[in-house]
Amino acid sequence: MSTAIGEKVSDFELVGHDGETVKLSKQLESGPVVLAFFPMAFTGVCTAEMCEFRDTLKEFESLNCKVYGISVDSRFSLKAFAEQQNLNFVLLSDFNKEVSGGLGILYEDFLGMRGVAKRSVFVVDKNQSVAYKWTTDNAGERPNLDEVREALQNLN
């Protein structure tokens, strides 16, 4: 199963690296949400991607949105990763793979491991629908954040 542009995203609650629970529908009350899925904390491309979000977060915030990084790592691993990289946004743990599985973005085999999230970005609008989607099977490829910002601008 995968979620296409225009389709509703199932509501979810995930625990952040800070220990706080984040509910999608609650976050959407204040504007759109960017969900940036990445395979694994502490790996080269994932670190570069999350640091790019960190370095451009003010641009995203100026578009009245919240950014969340999501992986299947534990919240404890994500906490150490966020601290090491000085990330200024919340990383959510999809340890049980419910969200990434529901969106159809899990690798069957990633370096011998099952159920790792594919690098993907979703912009979810205030109606809880997918306004933008980018996903790749190539874990070495990073999303174009200009495209993500453009999708957010088109919502305003």
**Environment class of 78 (CB within 10 Å of its CB; exposed 0-12, middle 13-18, buried 19+):** buried
Domain-embedded: residue 4: no
pLDDT at 1: 44
Residue 1 lies in a domain: no
pLDDT at 135: 95
- Note whether residue 72 is domain-resident: yes
CATH of the domain at 137: 3.40.30.10
Task: Note whether residue 99 is domain-resident.
Answer: yes
53 domain residue, yes or no? yes
Ordered mean pLDDT values, 10 residues apiece, the chain (156 residues): 83 97 97 97 93 97 97 98 98 97 88 86 97 93 96 90
- Longest Cα–Cα distance of the chain, Å, equals 42
Residues annotated catalytic, as ranges = 46
The pLDDT value recorded for residue 2 is: 61
Question: Would 7 be classed as within a structural domain?
Answer: no
Question: Is residue 48 in a domain?
Answer: yes
> pTM score, two decimals?
0.95
Structural domain count, the chain: 1
Is residue 8 assigned to a domain? no
Report the alpha-carbon distance of residue 58 to residue 56 in Å, rounded. 6
Q: Are strands 130-135 and 33-37 parallel, antiparallel or unpaired?
A: unpaired
- Reading the block at residue 138, the tokens are 């190539």
Q: Which domain holds residue 117?
A: 13-155
* The pLDDT of residue 114: 81
